[in-house]
Amino acid sequence: MPMELTQSRIQKIWLPNDNRPALPRRSCGPQLANSPTVIVMVGLPARGKTYISKKLTRYLNWIGVPTKVFNVGEYRREAVKHYSSYDFFRPDNEEAMKVRRQCAMAALRDVKLYLTEEAGQIAVFDATNTTRERRGMILNFAKENGFKVFFIESVCNDPNVVATNVMEVKLSSPDYRDCNSTDAMEDFMKRINCYQASYQPLDPDDYDRELSLIKVIDVGRRFLVNRVQDHIQSRIVYYLMNIHVQPRTIYLCRHGESEFNLKGRIGGDSGLSNRGKKFAVALNKFVEEQNLKDLKIWTSQLKRTIQTAEALQLPYEQWKALNEIDAGVCEEMTYEEIREQHPEEFALRDQDKYYYRYPSGESYQDLVQRLEPVIMELERQENVLVICHQAVMRCLLAYFLDKSADEMPYLKCPLHTVLKLTPVAYGCRVESISLNIEAVNTHRDRPENMNTSQKPS
């Protein structure tokens, strides 16, 4: 007999009408019906492994796949409080080798806990893992626990790139807190040499031909991919092939204040108010002052963003994916009208703003999926100005600033303010620049004393 179904009031999706427990809330992204995955980083020190680990984890969490980095270096610093010198990493230092192995095992125990008991789907094991013996140990661990394994090896033989990475990232490490930069650089280069002697790169043509892996060569100049097993691994490969480390700036702003903003109405396709038009002129002056080379300008396909871009007198590209969240039956209504005409929907959205889907409309979760191609193209580009909308800007900002699904719908993105994002070593620096044109405040704070277990009144 066909099973009876009940529609979830918040997400508007159909669920079995029985007493089975619901899936964990965080698993509402891409559903992985198969085993959890351990991503194993491979490579010499200062090859960007931690950069890749953190950036990839930020992306996977943003698309709804619970992911966590386990950095073995942090376990080592916890076990050995005071780093003395590169001698600790010499292959003939038996006592240190024992400590390093214990740290790797402690990290793997935490990986197991995360993937089996904490609803994790992907664990990133961030260490050098430069020997076949160490990688074999990880493969055995994964086999015993039913985890898939995907290797990411970062290979770079350009001494200038390595030296830049050491200067920008490694010298600020806790290992060199009380050390001058010259001595720290010398020590770290000797540390790399300790690994170099025993380094066994992944060999997809022979020894490692059965493994799932990607080799990232010279910071993305070339890639070698072997035996991709599933959908999530293919997404990881696609993401890694789109990112780069060239200096650039991303500017995010909303359209100028619209006529509907003035009336407190959501959605729709109204034009700019008089103050919104003044903002567009001010934005033109701001862009000229930035004096950026080859600036790309992107808008949605809605009138208010296009009117804003027109004032810049520069070429721009329209993206349907950048259109504002679809409020469905609530389009062009005020919040007061929604509260009066759809009281249950109003209360449900306040309960869980990220997962709540407007009837015949979208949720923030839907918006994230819609914006993934925009993120991929932003990662490929250099200087870009994105003129968009409040919910869209929140989703983009959450990606760059590593904000959770719970925080995302409440990020402040005021009208007539430009957010300047500058990628740095392991994250993104953000600068908020008001263009000093008054506008209405469209931000709604998180309701107090509201949680996801409450029933709407």
Of the residues 103, 126, 208, 352, only one is catalytic, namely 126
Q: Is residue 269 annotated as part of the catalytic site, yes or no?
A: no
CA atoms within 13 A of residue 285's CA, in its CB half-sphere: 9
Of the residues 255, 330, 345, 413, only one is catalytic, namely 255
Q: Write the DSSP assignment of 361-427 as a string of letters.
A: S--HHHHHHHHHHHHHHHHH-SSEEEEE-HHHHHHHHHHHHT--TTTGGG----TTEEEEEEEETTE
Of the residues 324, 326, 352, 362, only one is catalytic, namely 324
**Residue 327: partners with Cβ closer than 8 Å, 6 or more residues away:** 266, 267, 333, 358, 361, 362
Three-class SS state of 9: coil
Which stretches does DSSP call E strand in 156-237?
Answer: 213-217, 222-226
CA atoms within 13 A of residue 306's CA, in its CB half-sphere: 12
Three-class SS state of 124: strand
Instruction: Tell me how long the chain is.
Output: 457
Tell me the C-alpha distance between 185 and 189, whole Å: 6
Both tokens assigned to 295: 């600036």
Q: Is residue 156 annotated as part of the catalytic site, yes or no?
A: yes
Q: Is residue 255 annotated as part of the catalytic site, yes or no?
A: yes
Q: Is residue 126 annotated as part of the catalytic site, yes or no?
A: yes
Tell me the C-alpha distance between 256 and 272, whole Å: 6
Active site residues: 126, 156, 255, 324
